[in-house]
Amino acid sequence: MTIDSELTIPVIDLGEAQAASRIARACADTGFLVVTNHGVAHEVIDTAWAAATRFFDLAPASKMAVAMPYPGYPYGYAPLRGERLAASLGADTPPDLKETFSMGPIEVPAHVAVGGAADPAEAFVYEPTPWPPAVPEFQPAMESYYTAMAGFAGRIMTVFAEALQLPSDFFDSRIDRHTSALRVLSYPAVTEPPQPGQLRAGAHTDYGTVTVLRADDAPGGLEVLVADRWTAVSLVSDSLIINLGDAMARWTNDRWRSTLHRVVTPPANLAATSRRQSIAFFHNANWDAVIECIPSCLAAGETPRYAPVTAGEHLMSKFRSTQY
């Protein structure tokens, strides 16, 4: 597969008159888009970004103090080479050259809080996040960002519903108890040659409904596979990157794309100055929401490509496959 510098990911101003139709077209063509005029407060984004940088600047021991307490735990710090994202698609690759901190839902449903979850895996999604005492502003900054992104993703889902010829509130009852996760990522400067096939984030698709990404512009960045060609995602000032996850592809019977993407290692001559950071919000449907083919996405005589599955079952099967 080749790198294509001419392919472009669409940049859409959410305030423009044709935004909804352009979003629908991007979901079908690339599964990726860059949005401006997104309405998320600059202060919320900037505060979270600064707090993330301060966290990743901590000494290793301070970061490890809030490490995921055991392999496969969903939240907390994961050090460099702690994950292989390509494994979610069955690929056997070296571990990724990134470090992360993940948090889960802020509010725990009452039935889970009192130990009444019917599925033990559901309680797992609501496990507590260990917060770093060395950066006291980190937790409030991340929780504010999580809340803002949840609201933004909800607005995007309304646009999706209308684009799919559904009532605008179609997804509301399916995401009002969403099990979304937030992850801040640091890609340190590459100081030694990567192993064969090793990337900053291996090629993968996301698992849920939609991912909202804030990223910086540094060597060794995000690439998307479109028409068997890898293309870099160009960053635009004050923008957010949106991509669809597997759940949305299943809901639309693959009319809309959950697109393979990766974060590549930088060129050797730029490796020493290639530190990179991003914040990803992974929006998921309610744990018990059923992901099945939307009727408007099924043509006459066509059959659904996927069996119905709950969002929780789908999410956990993907998550477990990435653990190193």
DSSP class of residue 80 equals T
Question: Which residue type is seen at 97?
Answer: L
- pLDDT average, residue stretch 280-296: 95
The reply to whether the predicted model has a pTM over 0.75 is yes
Across 298-304, average pLDDT: 89
pLDDT tier, 69 (very low <50, low <70, confident <90, very high otherwise): very high
The two three-digit tokens of residue 25, written as one number:
């077209």
**pLDDT reading at 3 higher than 50:** no
Partners of residue 278 on adjacent β-strands:
185, 215
Least confident of 54-68, 73-87, 129-143: 73-87
| Cα 92 to Cα 111: distance, rounded to the nearest angstrom | 38
Where does the pLDDT of residue 324 fall: very low under 50, low under 70, confident under 90, or very high at 90 and above?
very low
Q: What is the pLDDT of residue 5?
A: 40
In the predicted model, is pLDDT for residue 322 greater than 60? no
Question: What's the chain's average pLDDT?
Answer: 89
- Taking the chain, what is the end-to-end CA distance rounded to the nearest angstrom? 26
* pLDDT(164) > 90: yes
Tokens for 206?
Answer: 């996301």
pLDDT at 2: 35
Express as a percent the part of the chain with pLDDT over 70: 90
Q: What is the mean pLDDT of residues 320-324?
A: 54
Burial letters 78-88, b for 16+ CB under 10 A, else e: beeebbbbbbb
| Structural domains of the chain, ranges and CATH numbers in brackets | 2-321 (2.60.120.330)
Q: Is the pLDDT of residue 117 over 80?
A: no
Distance CA 68, CA 177 (A): 24
Which of 145-154, 204-213, 315-324 comes out lowest in average pLDDT? 315-324
pLDDT band (50, 70, 90) for residue 197: confident
Q: Which range has the worst mean pLDDT, 49-53, 63-67, 83-87?
A: 83-87
With CA atoms as reference, report the closest residue to 311 among 257, 256, 251, 261. Answer: 251
Per-residue pLDDT tens digits for 120-133: 788 889 999 999 99
